[in-house]
Amino acid sequence: MRASNWSGLAILAIAAMATLQCGPVLANDEESTKPTIVLDHELPSHLAAVTWSLFETIDQHHISPPSRETLMTAVANAAYQGDRKHVQVAAAKLLACQSQAEFISAFVDLWQLSHSKVRPANSYLSLLTTSMASRVSIVPAAEYVVQEQLQNNRYVGLGVTVGNDHGPNISFATIVPGGAADRGGLVNGETVLEVDGHDTTNVPLGEVISKWLRGPKGTQVTLKLASRENLAAREVILTRSVVRIDSVRGRNGSSVSQGNFRDQPSVPIGYLEVGIKGSTLQELRDAEIRMRADGIRVLILDFRFGDSSSIFHHARLVADGLLDGGPMWSWQDRSGEWHVEVADRECLFRDIPLVIMVNQHSGSLHTAVAAALQDAGRATIVGVKPEEAVVVLNSYPFANGEYYATLPSAKLVRGRTDRSWPLIPDHPTEDAAAAAVLKTAADRFAAKGVSPTSPSVPNLFYIRRGVESGSSSVSALFPANLQEVEVLTRLGVRSLTRVSPSGNIQSREVENETARKIAMQLLENVYKQDQEINRSVPE
Amino acid sequence: MNLLRRIIVIFAVACASRIAVAEDAAHFRQPVAIVVIDDDRIVTANQRSGSLTLIDQSRKDVVAEFSVERSLSDVVRVPGQPLLLVTDQANHQLIVIQITGDLLVPQQRLTVSPYPMSVRVSADGNRAFVASLWSRTITVVDLKSLDKAEQAFVRTIPLSFAPKEQLYLDSAKKLIVADAFGSKLAVLDPDTGIVDSVRELPAHSIRQLRLHPTKPRLMMSHQMLSRLAHTTFDDVHWGGLMVNCLRSLPLADVLNPKADLLKQSQLDYLGGPEQGAGDPAGFVITSTGLIAVALSGTDEIAVDDGNHLYAKRIKTGSRPTAMVLDTTGSRAFVVNTLSDSVTIIDIQHRTSLATISLGATPDLTAADRGERLFHSASLSHDRWFSCASCHVDGHSNGLLNDNFTDESFGTAKRVLSLKGVGDTAPYAWSGRFTTLAEQIQHSVKSTMQGDELSEEQTGDLEVYLRTLPPAPPTGAMDQSASERGARLFVRLDCNRCHTQPAYTSARTADVKLKDEQGLSKFNPPSLRGVSQNGPYFHDGRAETLSDVFSKFQHQLESKLTDDEVRDLVAYLNSL
């Protein structure tokens, strides 16, 4: 599984929390955050106070804070759950408020008007942030603690990813190697019937996780597991411990310690998937030792996935670790001050040329690191232009520490002042991907013997345009007429992606192939340099 | 020890009035250097007792201890002769010691530049090189002319940094000199006195330089401190803040002033998460390339497994520092500076063979306990570093550290020297801590992410820190310029913030230089020993003292003339 998947699934578990009724939020750490208990009838004024505090935090820290209109419209939208009829009027009323007290009062009225029943706080808050469209996200404090643990690779738990696809009870979809569950002999897919004596049948996933599964390091939990193939139902006692989740992996998601770096055994080109976590720099150091022992001369780094649970500070340490001095980037804070960040001269994979793969899934932080390496001439970038607008996100507690808001706190400017966003790959693969997809589609039609204009043929393509407009994508469904598609390509359509998953894999394969090709060229250069050095070494 | 042998020695000594055998009474020695005389015997140079200890390592016994006076910093063997060279950092002398049987007899004492810390000898035994720390010089001595005192001094070579560790390359006739505290590496030609190059490495606390036995590479032990990392639990835990290393550089690049030192640098990381390797110091390399390195902060030796992984640790006494190979090349001796002992290890089998005590020691005082705490990596999370890692030998590595003392991250500030810290309250750049005890507790808990210190530990550390005198000035001064500078200092009102006697005050002053969070009010650092404290200002933006005035016009209403700057700097260099 790729590096992001562990944390991705764990985040899924956290996201499941969003469906919880507003109620006590359990902490899971020694430095526990106090649970906030809000009674139903207090809910609207509590939410109003939380909202006001959020706006103060945004005002204080957001690099380009949305206008008051936008904020109040977002509140109205979230309260009315998108019922546009009332939103404008409600927004105007909120906008007219001059003080926190007025706002709270107006909010409570609004809430009463807009609902016939109490709505969970979490769905209001998530609608609020979505409506603001300012890259603000909110988590309850206890979840923030877990996020921080994941970011710093010190997640405390049983070392499992949890799902409930297989019936009324939860199951452990995957067991993290080395975690408590792994040590306790559990395997992927175990169904959990009881946790500490609590029956999990039909209990919402989020509740099972936050109420029963989570707990401080060193504490125990008793699980009753369902029977499977050759094993009867059984009880196990596990001790919650720190679960290390690799952020750097070799080929096919293998652990670095397995040493599976090479695509072809005889070719000294290595490959690493790189996430961005607190432990990434250390993991890269370990990987370097093993790769040098393996004789790797050129390295492909795969940055083709998101970094939703990553933080800027770790991107900074990773970029610094991969750069041999020089400016990494600059960032501008709220007061307008510019801060230039310069890498030191300690450099991982020194004298090993780097090829970095990016694509439309590359997160903001991966893009920033790739750009810093491109600007320093330290790496060649291959792939599809990442569309993420790079921002520096930071998290701030608000509402007396009950929640944390993550928002853009600084603008990031590239190390080379003649360049800006988006990151343009040195070897773009979009056109190659488009050509590959077109060819496959053509072959498919031919094989099926189906006329492209028949109504029974599904629309195969959606076409993504460039990002100059600022929006993430403009999609259009085109009829399955290959000639029309070819015309569009000639008119400058940038990329062509098939909607089906196999189309995505196809683009990825083109990226892989291109990276390999570039890496081979770099390897030739390395060999040439070796020869020159050998010739010039004195006796 | 063999009683008869001992009687003979004492008798011989009693007859020879110039040799003083140290009393058997319990005393602290603090061995800091070690040298092999022959297959059986080794000698340690002792810093605290100013003595040399002769050890018969095959018998695992001390033969005798010789009082040489007053505080010895290094000892080397002169090749081809029964002679040792010893440096005394308190009396500022290079001492020639004759080895006569089991006697170590001082023959001659030469006064050298103040604070000699290390001595090296050419392979032909003709030349010696003495590195003097606070006076920042290398003294080249002609060993063949020792009896003609003045001719013995070939030259002194001034440096722009405080030197300590040295390596003489006989083939190239060059001397490689490392910074005692920070990141500089110099290459000089002792025959001409020319400094070929002074370059910076991403390094500090460069404790040992050695040539690889089979490859043309220079090896060094050092630490690296990241300016960008924060002193948070996670950055410390994952080795983001500080790492302990062994570095290897191609010799050709070291000797070529135009070469990029780092282009072909290889770095080995010592330790890792959950097993820090705080303060790597002396190391040895066997003829097969196996490396054993002393970790002076964790009281261990780490041994290479042949794959650049140093997983195996051997326990030693307290604060192992200097290390040397025995004559067979398969074993090593390491001095444990704070437990007055020598540990013998078998490198190949990665085990400790014996520990030889140098003699009885008295009970520890509070200052002694504080000294141990100061140098112990156990004060930091997972033993990544000790107080001494940044505050090298109680001073400073001169680098920037982003800690939470200023209550913000993203605002890295220059590590402050602790020399003379007893008189310079309040503490920290912002003057945040009024007492030294508070500063100590904060540093250990927050900056080092260590466990909270007990009151006794805090007290001990405070007592120890108060024993550290201010750094001596570089001594480079023109007397009349310095006097004019002193008058300028008063006329320009510098003493309002930098008030005598400690040249500091309790106030904070706006120096119009802001950190990244806009903080511009700082507590004036003490100017005692300021010549040793570059680079200057909270972020080290002023490279030299001259820059403080000519480039940054520090608290000046109008520019000073070049002469005035020179005079003021001369005065500051004398503090």
Chain B: residue whose CA lies nearest to A340: B516
**Average pLDDT rounded to a whole number, residues A433-453:** 55
Cβ–Cβ of A279/B273 closer than 8 Å?
Answer: yes
**Average pLDDT rounded to a whole number, residues B281-310:** 93
Report phi then psi at A355, rounded to 5: -120, 125
pLDDT tens, A209-245? 888 888 888 999 999 999 888 888 899 999 999 988 8
Mean pLDDT over the full length of chain A = 79
Q: What is the CATH number of domain B366-466?
A: 1.10.760.10
Chain A: residue whose CA lies nearest to B269: A285
Q: Where in chain B is the domain with CATH 1.10.760.10?
A: 366-466, 479-573
State percent of chain A over pLDDT 70. 75
pLDDT (0 to 100) of residue B352: 96
pLDDT (0 to 100) of residue A155: 86
Cβ–Cβ of A153/B238 closer than 8 Å?
Answer: yes
Query: Is the pLDDT confidence value at B152 over 60?
Result: yes
CA distance B509 to chain A (A): 22
Query: Is the pLDDT confidence value at A11 over 90?
Result: no
Cβ–Cβ of A347/B262 closer than 8 Å?
Answer: yes
Residues of chain A positioned with their CB less than 8 A from the CB of B229: 317
CA distance B239 to chain A (A): 6
pLDDT (0 to 100) of residue A13: 41
B410 touches chain A (CB under 8 A): yes
The amino acid that residue A453 corresponds to is T
CA distance A377 to chain B (A): 15
The closest CB to that of B516, out of A153, A292, A339, belongs to A339
pLDDT (0 to 100) of residue A165: 66
Chain A: residue whose CA lies nearest to B273: A282
Q: Mean pLDDT lowest for which of A166-170, A430-434, A475-479, B546-550?
A: A475-479
> Which ranges of A312-459 would DSSP assign to H, the alpha helix?
312-322, 364-375, 430-448
Residues of chain A positioned with their CB less than 8 A from the CB of B265: 350
The closest CB to that of B202, out of A292, A341, A345, belongs to A345
Cβ–Cβ of B228/A347 closer than 8 Å?
Answer: no
Query: Which ipTM did the prediction report?
Result: 0.91
Alpha-carbon distance B567 to B569, whole Å?
5
Chain B: residue whose CA lies nearest to A346: B202
**Could you tell me whether strands A379-383 and A427-428 are parallel, antiparallel, or unpaired per DSSP bridges?**
parallel
**Average pLDDT rounded to a whole number, residues B447-463:** 96
Instruction: Select from B183, B199, B234 the residue whose CB has the most chain A CBs within 10 Å, as the one to mutate to test that interface.
Output: B234
Instruction: Select from A247, A280, A313, A341 the residue whose CB has the most chain B CBs within 10 Å, as the one to mutate to test that interface.
Output: A313
Instruction: Select from A335, A345, A395 the residue whose CB has the most chain B CBs within 10 Å, as the one to mutate to test that interface.
Output: A345
Chain A: residue whose CA lies nearest to B400: A344
Query: Is the pLDDT confidence value at B113 over 70?
Result: yes
> Minimal CA–CA distance to B412: which of A340, A412, A321, A365?
A340
Residues of chain A positioned with their CB less than 8 A from the CB of B228: 316-317, 320, 341, 343-344
DSSP strand E in A78-204: where? 137-140, 155-157, 160-163, 170-175, 190-195, 198-199
Cβ–Cβ of B234/A285 closer than 8 Å?
Answer: no
Q: In chain B, which among 237-276 make CB contacts under 8 A with chain A?
A: 237-240, 262-265, 267, 269, 272-273
Cβ–Cβ of B228/A152 closer than 8 Å?
Answer: no
**Average pLDDT rounded to a whole number, residues B191-203:** 96
Residues of chain B positioned with their CB less than 8 A from the CB of A346: 202, 224, 267
The closest CB to that of B269, out of A285, A317, A344, belongs to A285
> Which ranges of A230-381 would DSSP assign to H, the alpha helix?
280-293, 312-322, 364-375
Mean pLDDT over the full length of chain B = 92
pLDDT tens, A360-411? 888 899 999 999 999 999 999 999 888 767 888 999 999 999 999 999 999 8
> Can you tell me whether residue A516 is helix, strand or coil?
helix
pLDDT tier, A248 (very low <50, low <70, confident <90, very high otherwise):
very high
Residues of chain A positioned with their CB less than 8 A from the CB of B202: 344-346
**Average pLDDT rounded to a whole number, residues B243-250:** 97
Query: Is the pLDDT confidence value at A281 over 80?
Result: yes
Alpha-carbon distance B88 to B78, whole Å?
17
> Minimal CA–CA distance to A195: which of A173, A185, A210?
A210
Alpha-carbon distance A51 to A79, whole Å?
11
CA distance A340 to chain B (A): 10
Homologous superfamily in CATH for domain A147-243: PDZ domain (2.30.42.10)
Chain A: residue whose CA lies nearest to B310: A289
CA distance A342 to chain B (A): 9
Instruction: Select from A241, A290, A346 the residue whose CB has the most chain B CBs within 10 Å, as the one to mutate to test that interface.
Output: A346
**Could you tell me whether strands A379-383 and A326-332 are parallel, antiparallel, or unpaired per DSSP bridges?**
unpaired
pLDDT tens, B394-421? 999 999 999 999 888 989 999 999 999 9
Fold of the domain spanning B479-573: Cytochrome Bc1 Complex; Chain D, domain 2 (1.10.760)
Mapping DSSP onto H, E and C, the string for B177-230 reads EEECCCCEEEEEECCCCEEEEEEECCCEEEEEEEECCCCCEEEEEEEEECCCCE
Most confident of A82-86, A477-481, A526-530: A526-530
Residues of chain A positioned with their CB less than 8 A from the CB of B269: 285, 289
Instruction: Select from A248, A282, A339 the residue whose CB has the most chain B CBs within 10 Å, as the one to mutate to test that interface.
Output: A282
**Average pLDDT rounded to a whole number, residues A120-144:** 86
B359 touches chain A (CB under 8 A): no
The contact set of A with B (CB < 8 A) is 152-154, 278-279, 281-282, 285-286, 289, 292-293, 313, 316-317, 320, 324, 335, 337, 339, 341, 343-347, 350-351
Residues of chain B positioned with their CB less than 8 A from the CB of A344: 202, 226-228
User: Within its chain, how far is the Cα of A359 from the centroid?
Assistant: 13
Cβ–Cβ of A281/B239 closer than 8 Å?
Answer: yes
State percent of chain B over pLDDT 70. 95
Token code pair at residue A152: 């710093």
pLDDT tens, A15-57? 333 333 222 222 233 333 445 566 666 788 888 999 999 999 9
B513 touches chain A (CB under 8 A): no
Q: Are B575 and B529 in contact (CB under 8 A)?
A: yes
- Domain map of chain A by residue range? 38-135, 147-243, 249-428, 430-499
Which H or E run contains B341?
strand B341-346
State percent of chain B over pLDDT 90. 85
Cβ–Cβ of B230/A313 closer than 8 Å?
Answer: yes
* The listed CATH number (3.90.226.10, 2.40.50.140, 3.40.50.150, 3.40.50.1820) that belongs to domain A249-428: 3.90.226.10
pLDDT (0 to 100) of residue A439: 59
> Minimal CA–CA distance to A538: which of B190, B256, B260?
B256
Cβ–Cβ of B226/A278 closer than 8 Å?
Answer: no
Cβ–Cβ of B307/A281 closer than 8 Å?
Answer: no
Cβ–Cβ of A317/B309 closer than 8 Å?
Answer: no
Total Cβ atoms within 10 A of residue B313: 17
> Can you tell me whether residue B246 is helix, strand or coil?
strand
Instruction: Select from B230, B238, B517 the residue whose CB has the most chain A CBs within 10 Å, as the one to mutate to test that interface.
Output: B238
pLDDT tier, B278 (very low <50, low <70, confident <90, very high otherwise):
very high
pLDDT tens, A415-426? 888 898 889 999
CA distance B78 to chain A (A): 30
**Average pLDDT rounded to a whole number, residues A336-350:** 91
Residue with tokens 């005590």: B357
Chain B: residue whose CA lies nearest to A293: B307
pLDDT tier, A109 (very low <50, low <70, confident <90, very high otherwise):
confident
pLDDT (0 to 100) of residue A161: 81
Q: CA Rg, chain A, in Å?
A: 26
CA distance A401 to chain B (A): 19
pLDDT (0 to 100) of residue A112: 80
**Average pLDDT rounded to a whole number, residues B301-323:** 92
Query: Is the pLDDT confidence value at B349 over 90?
Result: yes
Bridge partners for B64 per DSSP: B54
Query: Is the pLDDT confidence value at B102 over 70?
Result: yes
Chain A: residue whose CA lies nearest to B200: A345
